[in-house]
A and B are shown apart, each in its own frame.
Chain A
Amino acid sequence: MRFMTFAKRNTKEIIRDPLNLMFGLAFPIVILLIFTAIQSNVSESIFMIETLSPGVAVFGLSFISLFSGLLVAKDRDNSFLMRLFASPLTASDYICGYTLPLIPMAIIQSIVCFIASIFLGLSVNVNLLIGLLVLIPTGLIFIGLGLLCGSLFNEKQVGGVCGALLTNICAWFSGAWFDISLIGGVYEKVAYLMPFSHAVDITRAAIIGDYNAIFPQIWWVIVYAVVINVVAIYVFNKKISGKNI
């Protein structure tokens, strides 16, 4: 159970970084408050909490990539991983140690987002639990992307790729704040080739209880989650095989 020791360390590293707490918990709540305030001042139904909350939940999860990517990259940068690579930890210990703590963090982040949304008018019912369930594969996508970026890039590059590029792609192509079909055309097609728009759609469907609409879009998210995590584990394993330390 060496991975549990390593996982506990990783949990402490992440939750003790105030920037992680700010981006992971406070930032999505701020976004919810801002868009809700805008909605209260316009007559059109642009940012209704039932559509806004799932979008913010998915967007908030994109910061999980930043947390995990930075953690892996920092460990590589300061030789901490070299110390661990010389220890009896195995490849599976590393993978489990880096990824498992992020799953409860992703769930807690989504719960916080939904609780904040309840205060802003979101109905409390069993659909919220289904919403949390369908957010899990989305969380796995971002966890895998973080591990992949942390394995490939240094701390500064991870900040750019996960902190700026990925969060922007997620923000603009997920339909978190606006209906992608209003733009349509190539933009809509590109958006639906990526998993983020599907993730927002299925979470919205779950929240309003339209369970049939979860399928088949959830398969896009699940397949992306599996493929990204397989690639991330492969790349990470290549790195710890010793050729790139």
Chain B
Amino acid sequence: MNAIKINNLSKSYKGKFAVKNINMEIKAGELFALLGMNGAGKTTTIKMLSCLTPPTSGDAYLLGDSILNNPQKVKEKINVSPQETAVARNLSVKENLELIARIYGSDKKTAKIKAEEMIMIFNLTEVAKAKTKTLSGGFQRRLSIAMSLISNPKILFLDEPTLGLDVIARRELWSVIKKLKTEMTIVLTTHYLEEVEALADRVGIMAKGELKAAGTVSELNLLAQVDKFEDAFIKLATDMEVNI
């Protein structure tokens, strides 16, 4: 079953395409990584899929609901962890988590329980009562991602989730994402090739707003006729036009 079906999705600003005619399907329960250099169109694609930016043309269906015709239904099923840390600065870690749980429809008691769960999963116990503006960048990032999970989304968009994290924090987050893989469909954008190799079931390579290729890491290596994924990425993102 497809969780996401994208039909000819495009976004242009003043006639210049940020995303051009993307067609793609992502299966339910899959972790799909969107890989590309800066300005490749990864974040714009995620913004369109999460109803933050309307497409210039085309449409996408998330679990059967159109982002154009039924964005409210789509929003109830998804959650997003934006590229920049997105937390309420004068609220504590626990209050931030409860806030998001309640916005997504949990009652007060359930929101508290869910917040406690997230605090445990993301090792935030020591800072649970601290105002988020006093936290280190690493803690803020972890909280920001925990906030995107507390609503138990069916589809989760993680826009460069490990950006700015140190190696240990990155590995901790990888382990959390691995645990989540079976429970929801995850679309992740990243610059880090090793992150893709460690986490992704399938990978889409974007360049200049276009989806150049999609497949598993080994399929992409085969397609580019190279052994290393880094070489495949460079070749596919810069040289070849591939029909998927």
Residue B135, interface by CB 8 Å? no
> Contacts A79-B85, A83-B82, A83-B147: A242 and B90 contacting too (C-beta < 8 A)?
no
B residues less than 8 Å from A242 (CB atoms): 51-54
Residue B86, interface by CB 8 Å? yes
Residue A172, interface by CB 8 Å? no
Please tell me if the beta carbons of A9 and B86 are within 8 angstroms of each other in the complex: no
B residues less than 8 Å from A238 (CB atoms): none
- Place the interface of chain A in its size category: 20 to 34
Interchain CA distance A86-B51 in the complex, whole Å: 6
Which residues of chain A in 111-166 are interfacial with respect to chain B, using CB atoms and an 8 Å cutoff?
none
> A12's contact among B86, B90, B148, B151, by CB below 8 Å, is which?
B90
Residue B104, interface by CB 8 Å? yes
Please tell me if the beta carbons of A6 and B80 are within 8 angstroms of each other in the complex: no
A residues less than 8 Å from B86 (CB atoms): 78-80, 82-83
> B84's contact among A2, A79, A87, A243, by CB below 8 Å, is which?
A79
Query: How many Å from the CB of A104 to the closest CB on chain B?
Result: 18
Please tell me if the beta carbons of B90 and A13 are within 8 angstroms of each other in the complex: yes
B residues less than 8 Å from A84 (CB atoms): 103
Residue B42, interface by CB 8 Å? no
**B140 to chain A: closest residue by CB:** A78
Interchain CA distance A191-B59 in the complex, whole Å: 52
Please tell me if the beta carbons of A80 and B87 are within 8 angstroms of each other in the complex: yes
Which residues of chain B in 60-111 are interfacial with respect to chain A, using CB atoms and an 8 Å cutoff?
72, 75-76, 78-91, 95, 99-100, 102-105
Please tell me if the beta carbons of A2 and B76 are within 8 angstroms of each other in the complex: no
Residue A44, interface by CB 8 Å? no
A residues less than 8 Å from B235 (CB atoms): none
> A13's contact among B47, B54, B82, B89, by CB below 8 Å, is which?
B89
Please tell me if the beta carbons of B102 and A5 are within 8 angstroms of each other in the complex: yes
Interchain CA distance A87-B80 in the complex, whole Å: 8
**A84 to chain B: closest residue by CB:** B103
Please tell me if the beta carbons of A243 and B91 are within 8 angstroms of each other in the complex: no
Report how many residues on chain B are interfacial, defined by Cβ distance under 8 Å: 36
B residues less than 8 Å from A241 (CB atoms): 54
A residues less than 8 Å from B85 (CB atoms): 78-79
Residue B131, interface by CB 8 Å? yes
Please tell me if the beta carbons of A82 and B52 are within 8 angstroms of each other in the complex: yes
Residue from the set A74, A83, A88, A241 with the largest chain B CB neighbour count within 10 Å: A83
Residue A245, interface by CB 8 Å? yes
Interchain CA distance A79-B47 in the complex, whole Å: 12
Interchain CA distance A17-B90 in the complex, whole Å: 8
Residue from the set B51, B80, B90, B100 with the largest chain A CB neighbour count within 10 Å: B90
Would you give the 0/1 interface string for A7-23, flagging 1 where the beta carbon is closer than 8 Å to chain B? 00100110011000000
Residue B50, interface by CB 8 Å? yes
> Contacts A9-B88, A13-B91: A245 and B103 contacting too (C-beta < 8 A)?
no
> B52's contact among A6, A12, A85, A89, by CB below 8 Å, is which?
A85
B residues less than 8 Å from A78 (CB atoms): 84-87, 89
Interchain CA distance A90-B71 in the complex, whole Å: 11
Which residues of chain B in 114-166 are interfacial with respect to chain A, using CB atoms and an 8 Å cutoff?
131, 144, 147-148, 151, 157
> Contacts A12-B91, A12-B95, A78-B86: A245 and B52 contacting too (C-beta < 8 A)?
yes
Interface residues of A (CB under 8 A from B): 2, 5-6, 9, 12-13, 16-17, 74-75, 78-80, 82-90, 241-243, 245
17 intermolecular pairs with C-beta atoms under 8 Å apart: A2-B105, A13-B88, A13-B90, A13-B91, A17-B90, A78-B84, A78-B86, A78-B89, A79-B83, A79-B84, A83-B80, A83-B82, A84-B103, A85-B52, A88-B76, A90-B72, A245-B53
